[in-house]
Structure 1
Amino acid sequence: MYPPVSFFQHSQISSENDGNVYVPQDSMNTIFNTTKKRGQFIYDNQLDDEDKRNFNGVSAIKSSGVVGLLDKRSHETRDAEDADLDRYTRDSLIRIGDSDQAETVRRKLDTHTSKELPKLKKQRGTKYDEITGEPLGKNSAFHHLNEKELFTDPVDVLDENRGINVNLDTHKKIHKQGIGAALVPGGVCNFNKMF
């Protein structure tokens, strides 16, 4: 018999104030039904570093990354019991992420994000259009380098280092030409060639 979903929710999983559910690093062996050494290997080598966070000294990873690997393993393993356990754990993590409690946190975060987005231009602190070099005008705006629809991490959306300040005309050109989709994380596209 597998442990009940509430076991995972209370002893292995935590929901943080960014609306995501996190799995602590030291529970990888339980989640993946393996040894501590192999659990550590999975955490270090098979899960995306971008999904990893540290909360008060506790290393953890977004459950969505764990769910993806559990799903893959459930389809690839040749042992029926292991596949069933991987699917059960995957489904349990999904149910926890879809819980009313997690959804409430996400709605509160959406409200907070809506209030904070207009402040990004000021937080960025630049006085010039970061593409044209012209002084920022009255209708200037903060432009996310990574489209919010594609890069949905709520923490990244409010990071002033993940965008640039531009004037209204520049902003319109960016969106008209779909330049945002050409940007890569950690790099800045050469906009000047496009203007």
Structure 2
Amino acid sequence: MQPSAGQDHPHTHARGVHWISTAAALGAVVAAMALVPTADASSGKHTTAAPATPAAPTAPVTAPDPTAATYPLNCPGGVRTDVISRVSGDLDGDGRPETAVVVRCHSDTGTPPSGVYVLHAPAEPGGAPVIAVTLVKPQDNRQIQDFRLEGRTVKATVLGFSSDSVPQCCPDLSRSYSWEWRGDRYVALPGPAGTAA
């Protein structure tokens, strides 16, 4: 969906009144990974079906563990990353759970910018979860509140700054966001912009 001129969005490197104004990166669509058909399915060759055998019960698929993933955060001094919030569910309707997560660099004081990511299960057993898509980039200097899952929709309040003079502790702009899987990608749905409480 293409927002009208003057709308604000949470994917921008500039701070200021239009702190959330990059619709192409977040307000439009965020591409996700597609499934690749198997060789037999794509070749069109007919194969003889083997006799049916009872399927062995399968263990339930667990959601990706966000503490086992590696995130593209440039943390000063190599400090660790902290998982601030997480929600898990079948976000894209493929029958397997994903994990959406809010992550930021560790800090004993202050509030570093957050990134928001969707994780898929590891490609191989025992591997690390894979970042499928970035919903909010930490470089955009945003903070995330009220992170939650409603059905298959990820929701949050994204906080930002009206100018460089606003202290990092106290963002003064606020906008609600929803991210939904539609077709083959996540679509960002911004709510009205306002001021942070």
TM-score (norm 2): 0.25
Q: Which of the two has higher C-alpha Rg?
A: 1
Which structure carries more relative contact order (alpha carbon 8 Å, separation 6+)?
2
Structure with bigger strand share is 2
Structure richer in helix, relative to its length? 1
